[in-house]
Structure formats: structure tokens, C-alpha cells
Structure 1
Amino acid sequence: MTGTDDCTTGAASPADPAQDAVPEYRVWAPAGLPEVQPGDDLAKLIAAAAPGLTDGDVVIVTSKIVSKAEGRLVEAADREAAIDAETVRVVARRGALRIVENRQGLVMAAAGVDASNTSPGTVLLLPEDPDASARAIRAGLRDTLGVNVGVVVTDTFGRPWRTGLTDVTIGAAGVRVLDDLRGGVDAYGTPLVATVVATADELAAAGDLVKGKATGRPVAVVRGLAHIVTGAGDEGGTARALVRDPADDMFRLGTSEAVREAVTLRRTVRAFTDEPVDPGAVRRAVAAAVTAPAPHHTTPWRFVLLESAGSRARLLDAMRDAWIADLRRDGKSEESIAKRVRRGDVLRNAPYLVVPCLVMDGSHTYGDTRRDAAEREMFVVATGAGVQNFLVALAGEQLGSAWVSSTMFCRDVVREVLELPAGWDPMGAVAVGKAAEEPRARAARDPEGFIEVR
């Protein structure tokens, strides 16, 4: 196949002349599209620039001209204010640069707000619904030229861990946006268990190679891949399918945002599923816990992990018996005792328990009641900081938790059942597991109500 000044070929000629049917495609950027104005019919403009479109072609359209045609040019003396208006969630921030989730569900720099190639004092927003825009262009080309084509609307993205920009799909119609190879096998017969190809993004990147960023050719055509174009009555997949579900997104936040969100997500969970807890996740949370500050360069934390049902039952049964005995000594009625004991069900129903302990190794003894009490308080504060780190890290592992103080009221019992050294002071118990339901919304607290300035 011979290239021209406006086309390229997706595969070279075969090195072996005897080889049959080498897969290949052609991609080019038609010339002749005028400057797009609000209200323009993009399908008719594209049809005029590329009248030779045929069934099975894929038309790749830069989102900028879609936005212009749809009147998404807005006055904005302050681009930052426009970004704020389009932002749903800040993912990461460094200086003036913001990576955000925008109202279309896309995670990208500056919410896709573009101040280039627009008149001073204006910015260009992304299409309101890029998938709907793609469907409209596809329908318009079918009406104008009588052809069944796929349409991909693209925008430029940076990517985590990779330098440079590339075009990706933000809207699609008439194409299979994903090619799910899971369940198949490779050339060696090895099962494919995780391979899902982002076909629409590959099309977007191919089109960008010929469109360029400043050539005045905002549309590309790919020919030779008709197998990914759906039938006339089938709109195919949507670009929304390319956006990873938040629950499966391991890299949803930047570092500082992840810390803040983990702190916010740290909630007391009182109902857990039966799903087993990954011991590795708990150990990673312990690793975070022991980074907390502590006095005298000490390490006052110990975490006892109750991973077997038997160990949990022995501890909780012994604690229940000790609690009942205390309540009876206090003269509580049997009905009152039963009600109070039921409050401990949060620990009994959790699939995993952790008992954080305080150790005073490295502490100073002054022989002065006031100073010795303050010394212990420093170690208690450090232990609390470690437990807070632990709880926040569990939230980051998508594990719910509840820190319950009950072991502090029967430390001797806990030490005996768990066979702990005499110098280990149990500082409550942490129930760990997958939350059985979404926690209730937390009432907002104004930090100013907790601040005194001198």
C-alpha cells in the first residue's frame, strides 16, 4: 500500500511474500474542514471534507470541534473558576496543576477546561455528553452519505507513570470500545485471565498521529478495521465503559489526597460481612501504625492478631465472664447485664480481631508521682497515635474497623488468655472486616469550633 502526504499505514508489507493476508489498516486526516462555529452540523462538515467514507470506516473527531459546535465556549476571566465548576473531585494537586474527576466522570488535568485556541477571556469545556455527541455525528454521516461508520470523540490525556500526552476516547458510537480476551488462550495455550484491550483508545492514538496538535486537521479516518464497527442498528459500547469503576481503581487518588480521604473514610463499623480478612492487609496497616511518633525514640506499640476463630472465642468468652462478674458486683440486674453484654457483639461478629497493646520499654522513672504520671501519658498518647494510623491504614485497604475499649477493663484476663507478657497493657480491641453496609453520613464538623488562637 502506498502512503501519501495525509495517510499512514498500520502494518508494513510482509517480509515473506508467501505470507497471506497481512493485517493492516490505513489512517489519514482529511483536509478542508473550516473553523467550526457554534451550531455547525459537524456531520455535514466532515462529509464535505471526506466524501469517500465507506462502510466500516472509523471517524475520529477531536473533542475541541465538538465542543465548539455544541456551544461549549464560555466566558471565564478566571480559568481556575471554570475548572472548579467542572470538578467533581480533586484527585491530586501540585502547585497550580490539578488532576480532577470532572462532571463527565473523566479523571484528567484541569477537568478538560481548555484555554488554547479560543478568544481571550473565554475557555472551552468538554462536550456535555461525549457519547451522545458521537452518536449524533454517526447518525448524521449515515443520513448524509448513506454509510455505516464508527465514531470516536477524543481528547488529550497524560497518563500515570508515563511521560507525555496521548489522545484517548471520551465518546464513542458504533465501535467496540473494549476487546475482552478473557477466557481465551494465547499462542501457547495459556489461559488469558486479565486481558481487556482498550480498542477505542488505540484508535484515538492512531488518529492523533495524523491529526497532530496544530495542523488544522481535527478529524482522522481509519480504514481496514471494519470488524470493530457495529451494525447500523447497534451503537456499540460507550466511552464510559473505559472509565475504571472507583471500587476497582487502585490509584484513585494522589498521595496527599489519599491520606485525607483515608482519614475521612475511617469510620466505626459495627456490622461486618463474613468475608475473610486478608492477613497481609492487616500487617500492612500495622506497618503504618508503627510510624507514629513516640517519646525517647521508643516503640511502645504491640499488635496481637487474633486470626483464628478459636482464639477470638476464648478471649471474648473470658472477657464476657469477667464483665458479668463486675456488673453483678455493681448490683446490676440480670436484664441490665444482658443488655450491656450485647453491646460487645461488634467484637464477636467481626471476622478478625486485633488487640493493640502499650509497652513502657524505654520509659523514664523519676521517682516523682507527677512526672511519672506524665511519662506514662506520653506513652499512652503515642499508642493512640499508632492505633489511629492503624485504623486509617485499614480504611485505605477498604477494611472497616471498630476500636472498642473493653479489654482495658480486664487487662489481667486478656493477658492470661492471650499469654502476653506482664508489661503489655491491652488498649482496647479492634474489630476488622468488610463493612456489611455503607456507614451513615457523618455530620460535618466546622474545625473552627475546635480551635483557639492565641
Structure 2
Amino acid sequence: MTGLPAYRVWALPGIPEVRTGDDIAKLIASAATADGLPGLADGDVLMVTSKILSKAEGRVVRADDREAAIDAEAVRVVARRGPLRIVENRLGLVMAAAGVDASNTPAGTVLLLPEDPDASARRIRTGLRDTLGVNVGVVVTDTFGRPWRSGLTDVAIGAAGVRVLDDLRGGTDAHGNPLSATVVATADELAAAGDLVKGKAAGLPVAVVRGLSHVVVPDGGAGVAGAGDGGDGAGGADEGARALVRDAADDMFRLGTSEAVREAVTLRRTVREFTDDPVDGGAVRRAVAAAVTAPAPHHTTPWRFVLLESAESRVRLLDAMRDAWIADLRGDGFTEENIARRVRRGDVLRKAPYLVVPCLVMDGSHTYPDARRNASEREMFVVAAGAGVQNFLVALAGERLGSAWVSSTMFCRDVVRDVLGLPADWDPMGAVAVGRAAVAPPSRAARDADAFVTVR
């Protein structure tokens, strides 16, 4: 079986209880050179549990209230369910409780993650090179849960001298098919391999992997291997495990369910300047699917959404609406200068690459003998239409699409119905401009919810 790809992994015994100020590299060197052990060699990779680094670096803090420690380490709540919080910590890691650990530490204290796990890994690597003369890789590990998967595993939160990612994009598989999305998290795979022998409660915080020297880079080498460089890396500084943290812009699962809803509501801001980027009709239809889940009276479905996907249909509608508006303003006695200024303010719809006209239908409404009850019946349907449009706007924000809900079609409903060929009982309820925001909406002062609440 010689010649087949293989590696060995073993836990390193003899690491004593770590205390503040201990030199982890010296402790590892001493343990690795004990009698009966294979020692360390060039190309080995060490997996070092973050807890011993936290202890050595004085990251043990008095905290009778663990929640307060989590608050101090967290920068963003990703998801919350009961007392459990998944948060992004100051290192950019998304994990339970910000990595604050109350195990393997005296009562009344908690362990925080190392201040800079990549720097910790570099110190260990340098220390082992100086002490034993070996070029090894170092991976600092911590325990993570994972979306969609039960159980825990160790992952890399710090690294030095290791190709943390193996970028295979641009290569081909065994059948010659191009690889367009394959980036292997090598450092995480190493961390998981080491965890198999370290164990969670065995008092073995360090593991050694031998036989994978190709993942260890020379001093000053790069931490990411690419398909186009033959595995030699691209040169430059060691990137460390920070390269494993996905950028926010590329993270499709950045929030938990309730947090995603709240962020989408917050993101729903009126956009008045759009880029020329085309709008995905599928995204708009998904937003319509969210819209029609709104509450409505009598189990009715009072919403209809007219999607103006062609430039011709948008221009034809907006030209007809403009002419009707100008005629109304002239009839109201406005000067030509005032009319021109008002028409320019309404140009937000012309700047959008996509328009939607939400309509109200009264199918299923009740008719009563007196006008008061009939007016209330219509009000119920109008409220339901507004709820549907709000759902629609929030869902668009969740698709990272900007919008502006403009009331103009309500002032010329006959014109809109005629231009768009709509049934006589469809009432246009404004128009929604849809597109990607050209500039971020200006900041808005937070509103105190208590100012809008009355309790009886």
C-alpha cells in the first residue's frame, strides 16, 4: 500500500495545566521531545486548542454573569432562541456565545478567545522554529456548531504557516469538467482531524498531523493555494485563518430568521436614485409571494400586482400619467413653473429599471344597507392592500432591491387602467419603483418605539 496518500495524527501528551504567562511553544517543544514520542519534523502541522492560549494570554476573566461577557465580545446578534445566542464576535467569527467558555476554568470565571488567534499561531510557529529548528504549520482550533448539521466539530480560528484554503477554481475534475466553485477549507479539515485524537475532556490540547507537508508553507509563503500556481501559493504574507471568514457581501445566511426579518424591515428605505442594473423578475415574483401572505378580510385575496418589465410599457404609462397630472395641475390654477417643478419631483418612477403597480380588488367584500358600513368595508380592504404592499417592500429589501412606493397612480386610476388594459374593478394603489440603489439612503434617526405606544 506504499505510495498511497496517507497521513498520521496523534495527540501530544505531557502538556501541563497552563497558567497566565506560560510560553506555549516551549511547553509543546518539551512535550514533543519526551522519550517515546516521534518528536516534530519539518512539514508537521500542530492543532492547538484555543483554551490553552486563552489561559496563557490572560484571557481568563472574572464574570459572575456570563451573559455580560458575551455582550462585551459580541458585535452583532445573528440569531437568538431563548437563552441561546449565535453572534458575530469581534474577530468576525459567527458562533454560539461569542466563544465565551465557562468550562475548564475556575468557578466564577470565563475564558475569552485569544485576542488575535493568527498572531498566537505565529508566535508558536516561530518559537518551535527557534527551539527545535523545525518548519511546522500551526492551527488554533475552537469548537463550532454548524448550520444544517447536528453536532460539534473543531474549526480553525487562527493559523500560521498553513494553506488555510485550497482554491481549485480554474482546474478540472477527473472527467475534465471545470471547477468553478470549489475552495477547500484545508485548515478546518486539519482542525477536525486533530479533534478526533485530542478529545473534549481528555486533557490533550495539542495534536500533530504528519504526512501533509504540502499544506505547510515556507516562512513568508501564502496561506491560500490556487489551481493555477501548482500548489505553491501566490507569494506574500501568511493570511492566517481570517481568510476563512466569509465576507458579509457574499454571505447568503448572515442572519437567523427573526433577525433577517427585522433587518429587512430596517433596510426597507425609500430609494430615489437607481442604477441601470437589470432587475431579476424572479426576485420580484418572490416578493409578490410574500405580499400575498398578508392578512385580509373574509378570507379574500384583495391584491393584484402588475409587473412592468419592458421599458416600452413603463414609458407609455408614465407619459400618460404625466399628461393627466399636468392637466389636473393646470385645472387647479398652478403656474407652468410650479407644474414643471412638481413633475420633476415625480421622476423617481422614470429613474427605476422596473415598475410594479399594486392594485386593490374588492372580490368577496360584503354589501350593507347603509353607507357607513360599506365605507368601513372598503377601509378593511384598503388596510389589507397596504399590508400586502408592506410585505412586498420588505421582501424586496430582503432581496437587496431598493424601492419607492409612490401614490401617483391613485390620482389617475382610469388612465392607468386604460393604458395597462386592466379590469374596471382593479384600483391602482400607487406604483413601486424597483431597482438597485445608486447611493445608500441617508441615515435616519432611530425612533423610540415607546413614543408610539399607549398602554391601558
User: Into which bin does the TM-score normalised by the smaller protein fall?
Assistant: over 0.9
Counterparts of residues 62-73 of structure 1 (less than 5 Å): 62-73=49-60
Give the counterpart letter for 2:11 in structure 1.
A
- Structure 2 CA distance, aligned partners of 1:259 and 1:194? 29
Counterparts of residues 149-188 of structure 1 (less than 5 Å): 149-188=136-175
- Structure 2 CA distance, aligned partners of 1:131 and 1:333? 68
2:385 aligned residue:
383
2:368 partner SS: coil
- Structure 2 CA distance, aligned partners of 1:46 and 1:345? 69
2:306 aligned residue:
304
1:6 aligned residue:
none
The structural deviation recorded for 1:236 is: 2.6
- Structure 2 CA distance, aligned partners of 1:239 and 1:325? 65
The structural deviation recorded for 1:228 is: 1.1
2:253 aligned residue:
251
The structural deviation recorded for 1:168 is: 0.2
1:343 partner SS: helix
- Structure 1 CA distance, aligned partners of 2:74 and 2:400? 25
Counterparts of residues 264-343 of structure 1 (less than 5 Å): 264-343=266-345
Which residue, out of 369, 372, 378, partners 1:370? 372
- Structure 2 CA distance, aligned partners of 1:338 and 1:146? 80
- Structure 2 CA distance, aligned partners of 1:300 and 1:247? 36
1:47 aligns with 2:43: no
2:226 aligned residue:
none
- Structure 2 CA distance, aligned partners of 1:239 and 1:214? 25
- Structure 2 CA distance, aligned partners of 1:128 and 1:30? 24
Structure 1, 227-236 or 299-308: larger mean CA deviation: 227-236
Which runs of at least 4 in structure 1 moved beyond 4 Å after TM superposition?
A: none
The structural deviation recorded for 1:25 is: 1.0
- Structure 2 CA distance, aligned partners of 1:363 and 1:304? 22
1:219 aligned residue:
206
2:396 partner SS: helix
Give the counterpart letter for 2:360 in structure 1.
L
Give the counterpart letter for 1:136 in structure 2.
R
**5+ long unaligned stretches in structure 2:** 34-38, 222-236
- Identical-pair percentage: 83
CA deviation map 1:401-421 (0-9, x unaligned): 111111111111110110000
The structural deviation recorded for 1:159 is: 0.6
1:23 aligns with 2:5: yes
2:54 partner SS: helix
Counterparts of residues 363-442 of structure 1 (less than 5 Å): 363-442=365-444
The structural deviation recorded for 1:215 is: 1.1
1:349 aligned residue:
351
- Structure 2 CA distance, aligned partners of 1:164 and 1:394? 35
2:320 partner SS: helix
2:381 partner SS: helix
1:126 aligned residue:
113
- Structure 2 CA distance, aligned partners of 1:147 and 1:346? 65
| Preserved contact between residue 177 and residue 236 of structure 1 (Cα < 8 Å) | no
Which residue, out of 165, 184, 197, partners 2:184? 197
The structural deviation recorded for 1:237 is: 2.7
2:93 aligned residue:
106
- Structure 2 CA distance, aligned partners of 1:55 and 1:226? 8
CA deviation map 1:11-58 (0-9, x unaligned): xxx3xxxxx621111111111111111111111111111132121111
- Structure 2 CA distance, aligned partners of 1:436 and 1:49? 59
- Structure 2 CA distance, aligned partners of 1:397 and 1:110? 29
The structural deviation recorded for 1:367 is: 2.8
Give the counterpart letter for 1:424 in structure 2.
W
CA deviation map 1:117-173 (0-9, x unaligned): 111110000111111111111111112112211111000001111111000000111
Which TM-score applies when normalising by structure 2?
Answer: 0.94
- Structure 1 CA distance, aligned partners of 2:189 and 2:440? 37
Structure 1, 379-388 or 39-48: larger mean CA deviation: 39-48
The structural deviation recorded for 1:439 is: 2.0
CA deviation map 1:202-229 (0-9, x unaligned): 0000010111111111011111111111
| Preserved contact between residue 175 and residue 237 of structure 1 (Cα < 8 Å) | no
Q: CA RMSD in A?
A: 1.1
Which TM-score applies when normalising by structure 1?
Answer: 0.94
- Structure 2 CA distance, aligned partners of 1:439 and 1:210? 52
- Structure 2 CA distance, aligned partners of 1:237 and 1:49? 28
- Structure 2 CA distance, aligned partners of 1:292 and 1:302? 13
1:191 partner SS: coil
2:225 aligned residue:
none
